[in-house]
Amino acid sequence: MIKTKGRFFLIIFILLFSLSVISAGSVTREISQSDVDKGETLTVKLIVGVGGSESFYLIDELIPAGWSIVDKGTADNSQQNHLKWATIYNANDITYTYKIKTNNLGDYLFNGTYVFEGDDSENIITGDNSISVAESSSGNNNDGSSNSEDASVNSSNSEDSGDSYYNSEGVLVLKSSSDNDSGFSLLTASLIGLLILVVILIILFFLFKR
């Protein structure tokens, strides 16, 4: 009976020891948005949670092909398309942040793994893992408004067929009365000269008649 109890407690002790060794740490990915415009910077966070007695871990984040790293944060990116973090002692909860962008369109997947003290194999980083890239929807075509403004300016700068026109500053200018009456003045002068000539001829007629 005593031996049976001893074996039972030994088994319980072994199980508890095994559970204490198994890692309870985790790494979760958080992406700032699920849809981005081409060329827009994307912020990604890796949230590390140390749940047990782990003192070290390794994270290997694989970013999608065709993306460029804008800000790697504290990561090591000596391997192409990889961002790596390693803590070899006194592991604590922490959040790592990095920024990337791409000029390519389409849907992309993120892949990453991590290993904590006590793990027998690599674990897949959980959380957000997909992103869609589309053409920018914020760009406005200003050609129409620009052409409209140019047409307005050209219209305001052109002279009207009437008695006024707009100058280059958009100010209404009345045509000079001398421009409008120049022909009339010339005709009036001609008529006056002719009238004087007639009067002189009449005077000479009466003088010779006497």
- Say what the alpha-carbon torsion angle 93, 60, 26, 71 is, to the nearest 10 degrees: 50
Query: Is 180's pLDDT higher than 80?
Result: no
pLDDT for 33-91, tens place per residue?
999 999 999 999 999 999 877 889 999 999 999 999 999 999 999 999 999 999 999 89
pLDDT for 100-127, tens place per residue?
999 999 999 999 999 999 888 999 999 9
Dist CA 170 CA 14 (whole Å): 94
Lowest mean pLDDT of 54-63, 89-98, 197-206, name the range.
197-206
| Angle CA 108–113–119, to nearest 5 | 160
Query: Is 10's pLDDT higher than 70?
Result: no
Q: Which residues contact 54 (CB under 8 A, 6 or more apart)?
A: 23, 24, 25, 91, 116, 117, 118
pLDDT for 120-176, tens place per residue?
899 999 999 999 999 987 654 444 444 444 444 444 444 444 555 555 555 555 555
Higher pLDDT, 206 or 180: 206
Q: What is the pTM of this model?
A: 0.56
Domain segments of the chain: what residues?
22-134
Instruction: Kindly state the tokens that stand for 164.
Output: 């006024």
Tell me, what amino acid is at 104? Answer: N
Dist CA 44 CA 83 (whole Å): 12
Dist CA 13 CA 99 (whole Å): 47
Phi and psi for 199 in degrees, rounded to 5? -65, -45
Q: The domain at 22-134 falls in which architecture? A: Sandwich (2.60)
